[in-house]
Amino acid sequence: MNSLAYHLSIALVLSILSCHSSAGVKSSQTPATLPAAPPVTTIPILMAEQKGDRDQALPLTKNVLQLFNYIEQTGKLKLDVRRYPWRRVLHNATNGEGLVFGIYKTPERLQIYIFSEPVYSDKIWLVYRCEDSFTFNSVADLKGKTIGIVQGSSAGDEFDSQVNQLFKAEYNTSSLAGRFSKLYQKRMDAFLLYEPRTNIKQIQSEFNQIYAYDLEEYKKKKSDVFCIATKPVSVIDAYFAISPKADQSWLEKINKAIAHARKNGELEKIFAK
């Protein structure tokens, strides 16, 4: 090897070693840190519990699940659903634990809570025994009857004003199974059912399949034991509501999501059936 070739070989080796050394330095460097995602706001939502025929907690309805999922996705929120007996819901909400969902406005509640935009219109139906002659066109038709009511609930000003005046109240728990049992035992003439859907035949069929399935009368006749009056007692807007003691930004975020859902028609779709 001549002198020129020797020096060129040495230069080539040094160049290769330099490249490998530089690459090694770059690969050992710490990658750039990505900005942290903003924290997700968690909002406590207080709701009335519903109990089934074995005293088990019934799941949220399809409509409510769809609404909550939409609010979470649109508002980048996490809803922490907490279910209690209705009186405890109101007590805890008054003390600032979270937002009540599915509450109606009354003069008394307007003094205690701040309400959201209306979310949906709830229909309040009367459930009675199909064998009975039961007609409902107005509150006056309830004269002398015993009506099942969940204590602390409302069915509109006209109905509320006649409790234990025009008709007698049979106060019930949040257990739907308990209410159907009382009705079947004739401990009351009818009870209030809160249901946003309007397809009465479908609702009636569903409840008979659940709460009359083990009754001999239902097994033999293969016909409904429990009926729903075709006219609701009232139609009332339902809201989220919050105590002034709680974080008011929760209500602002919920209102923003509701407004978005109403504007694009999603709210109407969720509660269409």
Would 180 be classed as within a structural domain?
yes
Would 11 be classed as within a structural domain?
no
pLDDT band (50, 70, 90) for residue 152: confident
Would 238 be classed as within a structural domain?
yes
The contacts of residue 166 (CB under 8 Å, 6+ apart) are 139, 140, 142, 143
Tokens, residue 68: 């909550």
Would 18 be classed as within a structural domain?
no
Domain that holds residue 61: 41-270
Would 196 be classed as within a structural domain?
yes
Can you spell out the DSSP letters for 18-63? HHHHHHHHHHTSPPPPPPPPPPPEEEEEEEE--B-TTSPBPPPPHH
Q: Evaluate whether 91 touches 98 at the Cβ level (below 8 Å).
A: no
Would 220 be classed as within a structural domain?
yes
**Residue 61 has what pLDDT?**
87
Would 8 be classed as within a structural domain?
no
Q: CA nearest 98: which of 116, 82, 74, 118?
A: 82
Over residues 184-210, the mean pLDDT reads 91
**Residue 271 has what pLDDT?**
83
pLDDT at 30 over 70: no
C-alpha 255/C-alpha 87 separation (Å) is 25
C-alpha 137/C-alpha 158 separation (Å) is 13
* CATH code for the domain in which residue 252 is found: 3.40.190.290
Would 30 be classed as within a structural domain?
no
Place of tokens 């569903």: 206
C-alpha 122/C-alpha 271 separation (Å) is 10
- Please state the separation of Cα 204 from the chain's center in Å: 21
Across the chain, what does the average pLDDT equal?
A: 86
pLDDT at 101 over 80: yes
pLDDT at 229 over 60: yes
C-alpha 80/C-alpha 30 separation (Å) is 38
pLDDT at 18 over 80: no
| Structural domain count, the chain | 1
Beta-bridge partners for 110: none
pLDDT at 235 over 60: yes
pLDDT digit string (tens) for 130-140? 999 899 999 99
- What long-range pairs does 183-186 form, CB within 8 A, spacing at least 24? 183/127, 183/128, 183/129, 183/148, 183/226, 184/129, 184/212, 184/215, 184/225, 184/226, 186/129
C-alpha 245/C-alpha 212 separation (Å) is 44
C-alpha 175/C-alpha 47 separation (Å) is 14
> Comparing 13-17, 209-213, 216-220, which segment has the lowest mean pLDDT?
13-17
**Residue 17 has what pLDDT?**
41
Over residues 108-117, the mean pLDDT reads 96
pLDDT band (50, 70, 90) for residue 21: very low
Give the whole-number percent of the chain exceeding pLDDT 70.
Answer: 85
Top-confidence residue, 33 or 197: 197
C-alpha 39/C-alpha 42 separation (Å) is 9
pLDDT at 141 over 70: yes
**Residue 39 has what pLDDT?**
77
Q: 0.85 exceeded by the pTM? A: no
